[in-house]
Chains A and B, each alone.
Chain A
Amino acid sequence: MSEVKKKRMNMSQAINLAMHDAMALDEAVITLGEDIADREGGGVFKCTAGLSEAFGTDRVKSTPIAEQAIMGAAVGAALAGMRPVAEIMLMNFITVAMDQVVNHAAKLRFMTGGQTNVPLTIRTTTGAGFGTGGQHADYLEAWFAHTAGMKVVAPSNPADAYGLLLSCIFDDDPCLFIEGLPLYFAMGDAPVQGERIPLGKARIARPGSHVTVVSYSRTMVEVMQVAQELEKQDISVEVIDLRTISPLDMDTILDSVAKTGRLVVAHEAQVDFGVGAEIATRVHKELFGRLKAPVGRVGAARSPVPFSKALEDEFIPTKRRITDAVLETLK
């Protein structure tokens, strides 16, 4: 394992470091995806740069543009005892490979009575803000969280991305690892090399007492800014970064909401039938009599991701909408 010299890095660099460290640690770790080898440029976002030079093109394979083939090969390799990391360039392209993810990766442990497992990590990126329109920027995590047998992870910063990706790769179940596209370019603290962050554990990103806001991935950026701004109005917001969407860390959420009595869930995915709905219903069940306000939900507009900047800026959960949702719980 080469030593990290940087104190700060972006998420793309953190993921690249995690991949290097995982592949150095265990020969069973292999990776495949479109353009990921160095001959093809080491990945569109450079997350896999240097891997094929370091570990060879037998373990680091560029693929044709064929997501079913990518995901199927990853499932098969996982069945044979490898720990494949399949890169799906953009989250919307997983739709092409849904059969392999949902019918196979997620279910094979159960359907075989525990004879096999699928220690597969799917790395993918997504997010609005780049003018890529309706088929390149959706947050689809709820589909996978809805599927028994899948784990869904969505880091919000470089250090978390590193530690969570290592945990996904060495987890014995299929994990979907969502990399918020704008986060690739945002600097953050460097990870402690080799340190894994456990799956299924949320993090209190900021302690507070009046309102709990639960978020993950890119929306954490806006949520933290809103919390800072509201502090000036003497509104104390406790921010929980989920890190892992499924399995959901309800203990951390319930402890916080038991204290604040108020909850807003903010994510870039659609609100309807989403992660916020799941959290809200679980909170209502456990803390029904202790809530001081209905649970608020903030997400993308109920539309496909639009192209025009004028629309796209308002499509995502903006700071204004997050702020409004927090204030609504305080009325």
Chain B
Amino acid sequence: MTDTRSPDTATLLDIYRKATLIKTADDRFIELIKAGQIASPYYSPRGQELVPSAISANLRADDYVITTYRGIHDQLAKGIPLKPFVAEFMGRATGTCKGKGGPMHITHLESGLPVTTGVVGSGLPIANGLAWAALLKKTGQVTVVNFGDGASNIGAFHEALNLASVWNLPVVFVCQNNGYAEHTKYEYGTGARAIVDRAIGYGMHGIQCNGNDVVEMWSAAREAIERARNGQGPTLLEARTFRFRGHLLGDDGHYISKEIMDAAVAADPMPALRSWLMEQGHATEEQLQAIENDNREQFEEAVQFGLNSPYPDVSELARDVFAEEAGV
């Protein structure tokens, strides 16, 4: 770590607000799916809340964030409005994508979320194009693209890192390394000792950090984003984290040993951050509770909005296929 500055209290509480909103959303989505009120495959981000919350604290509203089908934490941290976000999960006409994309393909341009891909690794080459456009337009925008450890083994990762390096693009490649690519443990699918080691092969700056430590994560993200913004090129940022609720909802996690799971639970970043904020005097328990309650209230409003929203008209099948509305 070359950047040891710490976030101030306001930043820390903003990160906490985002992280707890993600946890609230996760808990409620699972309840809604189990109650039959949402019909969708679901990929829980539980355990990875701090990573995007700390990254987004360093981003401008117009910076781009690309994520994957298991990226609701990235979207919430970037500030996607809750009502159309939840409505999209429910396949409603009021969703961000009119119910035509779904949870795996959330886009909300106004929040700087241009694309969410359902294909592992595909976001990385696209990030380069957004960054190239930002350079041409001299907007100063940075593009952050999120992916997992598994995506570092697909060809798109390697092609994209190489091109970003050659073109010196303002991209931050964030590998949220949660230790498992679907059901495959890191070392059974990845030859590199660490993802960050792959940066050197592309002549790229690399940072590894504990993604579950708020100060470390914030500081690492700040360094990478500042470098991108200042014309110093791309960074491969490996955030070490863990996911508690499997790959896909219903996954029993049989491939994770009890020892590993117990240790992860003991190091759960959410209660740890809560205690730390109080210990360090950044907030009282009442203040944190107020943040949590506010999140829950806002999310419930969004749930009700979604449930009360209409489904898209069947005519939408012919719309948005081509610029000419009816398609061909």
Contact = CB atoms under 8 A, between A and B. Distances in A.
Contacts of A116: 107, 109, 114-115
Interface string B110-131: 0000110111001011111111
B120 to A, nearest CB: 10
Contacts of B70: none
B132 interface: yes
Nearest to B131: A76
B114 A80 contact: yes
A214 interface: no
B117 A58 contact: no
B129 A113 contact: no
B163 A110 contact: no
A108 B163 contact: no
A112 B101 contact: yes
Nearest to A119: B323
Contact of B321 (A63, A71, A80, A149): A149
A95 B292 CA distance: 49
A271 interface: no
Interface string A59-77: 1010110101101111111
B108 A115 contact: yes
Contact of A148 (B124, B166, B321): B321
Interface in A89-120: 99-100, 103-104, 108-117
A265 B248 CA distance: 48
Given A30-B136, A81-B133, A82-B133, A68 B107 contact: no
A78 interface: yes
A104 B122 contact: yes
A189 interface: no
B328 to A, nearest CB: 4
18 contacts: A58-B135, A61-B167, A64-B166, A66-B163, A68-B160, A69-B159, A73-B163, A76-B127, A76-B131, A76-B132, A79-B126, A79-B133, A103-B118, A104-B117, A110-B321, A115-B107, A115-B109, A116-B109
Interface of A: 27, 30, 58-59, 61, 63-64, 66, 68-69, 71-82, 84, 99-100, 103-104, 108-117, 148-149, 151, 171-173, 200, 246-248
